[in-house]
A = this chain, B = another copy of it.
Amino acid sequence: MDLRQLRLFCRIVDRKSFSLAADEMHITQPAASQQVRSLERELKTVLLDRSRRTVVPTDAGQVLYRYGREILDLDERARTEILDLGELVAGRVVVGASTGPGDNVLPPMLTEFKRAFPGVSIALHVDDTHAVIERVLSREFEIGAVGAVTPRPELIAEPLARDEIVLVCSPTHPWASREMVTLDEVVAEPQLMQQRGAGVRIVVEDHLRRAGVRPERLNVVMEMGLMESAKQAAIAGGGVTFLSSWAIEPDVEHGTLSVVPIEGFRILRDFYTVRSKTRVLSRAAEALLAFFRERYAEADGGSPPGASAAGSAGR
Contact = CB atoms under 8 A, between A and B. Distances in A.
Interface of A: 1-4, 43-46, 49, 51-52, 56, 58-60, 63-64, 67-68, 70-71, 74-75, 77-79, 81-82, 85-86, 90-92, 139, 276, 278-280, 282-284
A139 to B, nearest CB: 7
Given A276-B51, A280-B46, A56 B4 contact: no
Contacts of A283: 59
25 contacts: A1-B3, A2-B3, A2-B4, A3-B3, A44-B86, A45-B82, A45-B85, A45-B86, A49-B279, A51-B280, A56-B139, A58-B282, A59-B85, A59-B90, A59-B92, A59-B282, A59-B283, A63-B81, A63-B85, A64-B78, A67-B75, A68-B78, A70-B74, A71-B71, A71-B78
Nearest to A61: B82
B3 A49 contact: no
A64 B74 CA distance: 10
A79 B279 contact: no
A56 to B, nearest CB: 7
A74 B74 contact: yes
B64 A82 contact: yes
Nearest to A51: B278
B45 A63 contact: no
A85 B70 contact: no
Given A1-B2, A2-B1, A63 B86 contact: no
B86 A78 contact: no
Contacts of A1: 2-3, 75
Given A43-B79, A71-B75, 5 more contacts: A58-B280, A60-B82, A60-B86, A70-B74, A74-B74
Contacts of A3: 1-3
Contacts of A58: 280, 282
Nearest to A91: B59
Contact of A74 (B44, B56, B67, B280): B67
A82 B43 CA distance: 8
Contact of A2 (B2, B44, B284): B2
A59 to B, nearest CB: 4
Nearest to A72: B71
A49 B282 CA distance: 10
A129 to B, nearest CB: 22
Nearest to A284: B59
A82 B77 CA distance: 25
Which of A1, A63, A75, A85 counts the most chain B CB atoms within 10 A?
A63
A82 B63 contact: yes
